[in-house]
A and B are shown apart, each in its own frame.
Chain A
Amino acid sequence: MKRFAYTRARTLADAVEAAGAEDARIIAGGTTMVDLMKIGVVEPDALVDITGLGELRGHELGTDTLRLGALATMANVADDPAVVRAFPALTESLWKAASPQLRNAATLGGNILQRTRCPYFRDTAFAQCNKRVPGSGCAALDGGETTIHAILGGSDACVAMYPGDFAQVLVAFDAEVETRGPGGTRRIPFAELHLLPGDAPHRETVLEPGEIVTAIEVRRIPAMARSHYLKARDRESYAFASASAAVGLEMDGDTVRDVRIGLGGVAAVPWRARAAEESLRGGPLTEETAREAGRIAFADAVPLEGSAYKIPLGADVVAGALLTAKSRPGGE
């Protein structure tokens, strides 16, 4: 690992200032940062440790909102019985991610910013990676291995997939991210946090230098109680999603009043399947309409040879998640 300077921020203002320096990075749980530093993908000159900032810890399930501190760990929230009851999809997305050891260390603020698992991004032996070295090309698109790449939201410059699970729930339920940066505090709709790769895949979020995620907030809505996160993967546990769906339902008798669908394992950024939602709203939820919603969710998919399997798999996952959510008790 390249040598770097290390500093422990005592206040949020200190952290913002220190993290704004060129080639400085924030570290909290470290599960992504230390990994990427070891393999030479990220080589900061300075790390700013924010784990001492008490105001970024903890989470609170209120009457109207679920507020998650940026330093709350994945395990903290996944194991909280009150959140498990109120918002199954959110806790399922957390405990189906990573391993217990990683969930104990990884923070939610860091989790939403985790980097792609594209093998060409992670292996510096490959010269071509527009995300790692802007303008160098894309080894995946040049005939490389494409089984874990994006079929939605990719571009001619990059087909790397956003790998997380938690973010799919946040995008489906209109979460907001609270940040503190050189320009003060701001709230960013979660759907606007991540940038599509376009012709600048190295720019992954709208965060500015020195801007720190301080909290994530989700408004409590009826569809939370009847929610589910379904994750299809190569093995039973501890694997990234081949395709996943975070769904929520609010039913009015047999009619769908509100429906939320976030897709994982298939897109360049956390993905909201709005057309699929629209197909269901105001109508009945049956196996037939659920399957049709699954097909609509992938209508615009652009598969590569290795990633084409994600289209039928993803459609099945969407349908399965919807039907499981429907079978859940919906009362608050």
Chain B
Amino acid sequence: MPGRPPDLRRPGVSRRNFLQGSSVAAGSLGLAVGEARAQGPAMSAEARTIEMRVNGKTRHVSVEPRTTLVEALRDGLGMTGTKIGCNQGQCGACTVLLNGSRVNSCLALAVMAEGGEVVTVEGLADPDGTLHPMQTAFAENDAFQCGYCTPGQILSAIACIEEGHAGDEAEIREYMSGNLCRCGAYPNIVAAIVQVRDGMEG
């Protein structure tokens, strides 16, 4: 069992922030991200440097318009924790939190994430190396075999609880369906999520 209460309040992760924009009149809600990034060279295919907050730190990275977010993280910033699997948004290996929501970073253009807040698997452990409770739970439940899909599974698992979609095992399976594991570690992944969910209640 986790030795400390789970803390899901990581950079860019705020409870229920996926509800932003719901039930408000169209036009009344402008996310700061959209406004802050209104400047920039018009109509250019050239590489340029953009700024993002990655795991709580301001980072600059050179990207072309066609550079995807996962490529900017891996090739531009050397953060290879986020994996490229299918590269078509189908397997979930590239899952990161972008402005608090889990997304497929292989289908996000880095230029469109300019000014945004990204959380990757590298941002989950504490600076002293203490693992995030979900990382601990994955280890304790053998929730990985080859480990390739694990970073995306863990980010998605954290988001699954944050979104309030970890009610029972059927709901967990439904809301983890965007993350494929070819080893078939699903029962253990579900067990890890249940463990962290119940740890939050205790």
Query: A60 contacts B42, CB within 8 Å?
Result: no
Closest chain-B Cβ to A67's Cβ sits at a distance in Å of: 6
Let me know if B104 and A102 touch, CB within 8 A.
yes
- Asked if A126 is at the interface of the complex by the 8 Å CB criterion, the answer is no
B146 contacts the other chain (CB 8 A): no
Instruction: Give the interface segment out of A77-85, A165-173, A218-226, A269-277.
Output: A77-85
Determine if A59 and B23 form an interchain contact, defined as CB atoms under 8 angstroms apart: yes
CA distance A2 to B103 in the complex (A): 23
| A256 partner residues in chain B, CB cutoff 8 A | none
| Contact pattern, B 17-58, Cβ under 8 Å of A = 1, otherwise 0 | 011111111111111001101101011110000000000000
Q: Max chain B CB contacts within 10 Å: which of A38, A57, A60, A100?
A: A100
With a 10 A CB-CB cut-off, give which of B18, B45, B112, B179 has the most chain A CB atoms.
Answer: B112
Q: How far is the CB of A46 from chain B (nearest CB, A)?
A: 6
Q: Are A59 and B22 in contact (CB under 8 A)?
A: yes
**Secondary structure class of chain B's binding surface, majority of residues:** loop
Contact B23 A6 (CB under 8 A): no
Judged by a CB distance under 8 angstroms, whether B173 is at the interface is yes
Q: Are A58 and B27 interface neighbours, CB within 8 A?
A: yes
Task: Give the residue name and chain of the A residue nearest to B94 (CB).
Answer: A101
A residues less than 8 Å from B42 (CB atoms): 7
In the complex the two chains form, is B18's CB within 8 Å of A79's CB?
A: yes
15 A-B pairs whose Cβ atoms sit less than 8 Å apart in the complex: A4-B65, A5-B43, A8-B40, A34-B109, A46-B43, A52-B37, A54-B31, A57-B21, A58-B25, A60-B25, A80-B23, A98-B178, A100-B163, A100-B177, A105-B104
Listed stretches A68-76, A242-250, A279-287; interface member: A68-76
Interface residues of A, Cβ cutoff 8 Å to B: 1-8, 10, 18, 27, 30-31, 34-35, 37-39, 46-47, 49, 51-61, 67-69, 72-73, 75-77, 79-80, 82, 98-102, 104-105, 215, 236-238
How far is B65's CA from A2's CA once the two chains are assembled, in angstroms?
10
A58 to chain B: which residues have CB within 8 Å? Answer: 21-22, 24-29
Given A3-B45, A38-B87, A100-B163, are A75 and B18 also a contact pair (CB < 8 Å)? yes
Contacts of B30 in A (CB 8 A): 54, 57
Contacts of A27 in B (CB 8 A): 109, 112
Quick check: is B92 within 8 A (CB to CB) of the other chain? Answer: yes
A51 / chain B contacts, CB cutoff of 8 Å: 34, 112
Given contacts A5-B65, A101-B95, contact A73 B112 (CB under 8 A): no
Least Cβ distance of B40 to chain A in Å? 6
Instruction: Output the least CB separation between A12 and chain B (Å).
Output: 11
- Which residue, of B21, B87, B101, has the highest number of chain A Cβ atoms within 10 A? B21
Known: A35-B88, A38-B88, A80-B23. 12 other contacts (CB 8 A): A3-B66, A6-B43, A18-B43, A30-B107, A39-B88, A54-B29, A57-B31, A58-B27, A59-B21, A59-B22, A102-B107, A236-B177
| Residue B75 at the chain A interface, CB threshold 8 Å | no
A-side contacts of B26, CB under 8 Å: 55-60, 67-69, 72, 215
- Selected contact of B89 from candidates A6, A35, A57, A69, CB within 8 Å: A35
When chains A and B are docked, how far (Å) is the Cα of A80 from the Cα of B22? 6
Contacts of A77 in B (CB 8 A): 22
| A77 smallest CB distance to B (angstroms) | 7
Report A-chain residues with C-beta under 8 Å of the C-beta of B107.
30-31, 34-35, 102, 105
Chain B residues, CB < 8 A from A215? 26
Residue from the list B18, B21, B108, B174 in contact with A237, Cβ < 8 A: B174
A84 to B: closest C-beta gap in Å: 11
Q: Which residue of A is nearest B25, CB measured?
A: A60
Q: Is the CB of B89 within 8 A of A31?
A: yes
Q: Is the CB of B95 within 8 A of A76?
A: no
Known: A52-B37, A80-B19. A101 touches B87 (CB 8 A): no
Inside 8 A of A10's CB, which chain B residues have their CB? Answer: 38
From known contacts A5-B45, A75-B18, infer whether A102 and B89 are also in contact, taking CB-CB under 8 Å: yes
Q: Is the CB of B102 within 8 A of A237?
A: no
Task: Please determine whether B65 and A6 come into contact, CB atoms closer than 8 angstroms.
Answer: yes
* Alpha-carbon gap, A241 to B178, bound state (A): 16
Chain A residue contacts of B165, Cβ below 8 A: 100
Q: Find out whether the CB atom of A3 lies under 8 angstroms from the CB atom of B102.
A: no
* B193 within 8 Å of A (CB atoms): no
The CA-CA distance from A296 to B62 in the complex, in Å, is 58
Q: Give the chain B neighbours of A102 by CB distance below 8 A.
A: 89, 104, 107, 178
The reply to whether B89 and A104 form a contact with Cβ atoms under 8 Å apart is no
Q: Is B135 an interface residue (CB 8 A)?
A: no
Residues of B with C-beta under 8 A to A52? 34-35, 37-38
